[in-house]
A and B are shown apart, each in its own frame.
Chain A
Amino acid sequence: MDIFQLTAVELGQKIKKKEISVVEAVQKFMERIEAIEQDVNSFVTIDKEGALAQAEAVQKQIDAGELTGPLAGVPVAVKDNLCIEGQLTTCSSKILGNFKPTFTSEAVLNLQRAGAVIVGKTNMDEFAMGSTTETSYFGPTKNPHNLAHVPGGSSGGSCAAVVAGEVPYALGSDTGGSIRQPSSFCGVVGIKPTYGTVSRYGLIAYGSSLDQIGPIAKDVTDCATILEAIASHDEKDSTSVLREDYDFTAALKDDVKGMKIGIPKDYFGEGLDAEVKAAIQKAVEVLERKGAIVETFDLGLVKYAIPAYYVIASAEASSNLERFDGVKYGYRTEEYDGLHNMYKKSRSEGFGAEVKRRIMLGSFVLSSGYYDAYYLKALRTKALIKAEFDKAFAKYDVIIGPAAPTTAPELGKSLSDPLKMYLGDIYTISLNLAGLPGMSVPVGTDSKGLPIGMQIIGDCFQEKKMIRAAYTYECATNKEHETIAAMSRKEA
């Protein structure tokens, strides 16, 4: 078996048993990246030299018995909105095109403490605003299963890198579905944890009340293992939560007997692709045969999640992105007349169209005279949506539905109608509003061979139930849907 088909945990075991050295592993993945990256464009930055230096250092620590964890020596790619000291961190934006942070994000530090080797920074929608990775200043990432299609977004580079076998696993971030939707489109497993589980320190903010960092990998075991490594209580993030449990791998049990699964009728209505619907229903039947109790129910308020989200996320984005002003870091326009003109020109030339669109909307809904009617109305709607989920989780252990209404669209077909693109987030977005954990698990492909993802939603702090359901499904289906992309076009 080729090394790039191994899961992160399997590779970690081989490294531990000295079947392969960390340097050899990194070199193999670099060869893979060099062979296919021009087709996929998963990365903004590939740090070969740095990765090999890290590999040597990590190998020494493994040999000295200082690093014994499951991820020691395993290469990883990190979404380009996570700061790493001294390493280019662009958010796939022109305005941060030359930014090298002076500190490292807590999630990445946690990975480094576990012995991870960071091979590069992955492409994304600019400032994580988008669902296709096409708004990147550095060009779109392609879906490794079919290069004419998008990988989803905004963590499209991370998901594509994993399914193309360029890295065993990656970190992404999820503000409205940005881990789960591209995981669904690429056929990988991705988890958005409960809000506050992974420190946001060093994550360049988009919508601070919604953003969460999470793992993207080939299987459920990897994701649980990575989440266990990156989750921590951090006093540098005031919204970080001290959880009662961090032992997510304890939930890797092949058992859903008696587990109550709620299927929201509203997630299977108009707009859902027939092939996606059939694949999710089939997957739910698998869990039912394993002893889960499945019941359909009315979730309610589903159609209000997207408008509420775009008010809240745009409002927070307009505030968070004020810091990009051409003074402290990033792009500054060439010619200007005074300070304010410098701000305006730098920002207008530095930000792309989608980012400007959201900053404008956010500035409007926060402006005097509109704040109550739009911003507070959206926050009240959020309270109602959370209450709907509370009601559902009083009855069910997990909720299951699709991660996205369709499989990956073709490149170039999404950006011309933003509202239509936003509607693609309908099943993922409400979780961010309610702070809930969710994950996407591959459950099949459509007639074009494009992956379909099942979304499992847990109550706050109930990742373990979600992981148990996903793991049980994986065992029952023998991981048949979790294959990496053939990337055969290149060799053909």
Chain B
Amino acid sequence: MSDQVQQRLTDIGPPHYSKFLPPIIKENYGKWKYHEIPRPGVLVHTAESGAKLYSVRAATPRLLSTNKIRMFAQLAEKYSNGYLRFTSRNNIEFLLTDPNNIDPLIEELTALGHVVGGTGNSISNMVHTQGWIHCHSAATDASGIVKAVMDQLIEHYKNMDLPAKIRIALACCLNMCGAVHCSDIAILGVHTRPPQINRELLPKQCEIPSVVASCPTAAIRPSTWDGKPSVEIDEDRCMYCANCYTVCPSLPLNDPDHDGLSIWVGGKVSNARTEPMFSKLAVPYIPNNPPRWPEVVDAVVNIIDVWRKYAHKHERVGEWINRIGWPKFFKLTGIEFRKEHIDDFKHAGLTYKRSVHLTY
């Protein structure tokens, strides 16, 4: 046993990144001068030394098989001396030094089903969460909606034909592993009903004190049912975070008939021109409709089509809405304005219109 313990490595941290940098990057580290985008999906970075690095960017579904990663590795060996990277939005980038390799690489990537693009004023890849692939609290799937939405928007990934960048993100419940709350367009899975209590199983599967303690809003209190320990849920206080279900599998929250999606618009994280902004509610609820969620796809495509028709150059969705005002946003997109749009959480008063700056 002591042998095993001695051999065991811990706290080594990640490999040092310098092991994975191509020579051209090591030589020009911190000495890049400018970059250009000669065509969608291709970035050319020029160093002070005059050296040029060509990055070819392609989409991935984020969920990748080892088979596919090996294919990417082979392409990297063939075209970029084995060097590649991933971006913060799940794109893959091959780091080329020979511009003659760009065309054949793009050809092979396209044949493999990985569209090249996502640069400049385009729609980059969507960031998203696990959904039904791996999550216990998902109100919807993630990968399937991303696929359906991006199939429709793919021309805007391939072409830099938009007024500005647009960042779309999807999270399958309010926990937002994908922190979508500052996206131009956010698709957010929502539960709309509190957990069901399986009173038969609960005393066998769960510790009551843990369940009570798990609720962030203190909506759960201990009780007895048929002589057995149980819990009661103050349904008005529940915000559907599924933390109780995390602790106790007898409190399932997933509900096919009431789970669904909401759509949020106008967020950004970049400081360019305007300060970072949160996304705001556009569509309160759309039912789950797999496998291709047509209502969600239509809603997203509609918002993008209206935005690109009316926005000024460089205007992100939120900047455009701030210029034209929310009444016009609802009018132009045809989205119905409802009670749910009016905030009733903390500091809601700050979101009311407190001037007569209105357009007619």
- The answer to whether A and B interact is no
**Could you tell me which B residues sit within 8 Å of A by CB distance?**
none
